[in-house]
């Protein structure tokens, strides 16, 4: 559940769903993302799963929390990697 109050200062001044930007080649903006591979040791066909990070930011103290849209999909890939399951 995304926060409606700050977990540090308890303010209700939350800015939701803030885009987190990274710069790529030629200073082109990209969204910051996370990656989980089902087969991290594979050279190709790693079973890669990615999701974009978004921030919930406190407008009072600046505390920031990061979230992804599909954590269940990333966790499923992680558990496959732990078990060494085929994809």
Domain contains 4: no
86 has a pLDDT exceeding 60: no
Domain contains 22: yes
Element containing residue 83 per DSSP (H, E) = helix 71-83
Domain count, the chain: 1
Does the CA dihedral 41-45-27-71 come out positive or negative?
negative
Domain contains 5: no
Domain contains 7: no
For the record, the structure tokens of 61 come out as 């103290």
Q: Which residues contact 8 (CB under 8 A, 6 or more apart)?
A: 58, 61, 63
What's the whole-model pTM score?
A: 0.73
Contact (Cβ atoms closer than 8 angstroms) between residue 5 and residue 11: yes
Mean residue pLDDT of the chain comes to 90
**Which value, in Å, is the radius of gyration of the alpha carbons in the chain?**
16
pLDDT of residue 52: 94
The pLDDT > 90 percentage for the chain reads 59
Domain contains 52: yes
């Amino acid at each position: 559940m995304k926060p409606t109050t700050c977990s540090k200062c308890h303010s209700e001044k939350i800015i939701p769903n803030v885009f987190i930007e990274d710069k790529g080649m030629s200073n082109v903006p990209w969204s910051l993302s996370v990656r989980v591979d089902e087969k991290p040791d594979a050279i190709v066909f790693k079973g890669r799963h990615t999701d974009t990070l978004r921030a919930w930011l406190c407008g009072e103290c600046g505390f920031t929390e990061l979230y992804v849209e599909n954590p269940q999909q990333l966790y499923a890939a992680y558990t496959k990697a732990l078990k060494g399951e085929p994809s």
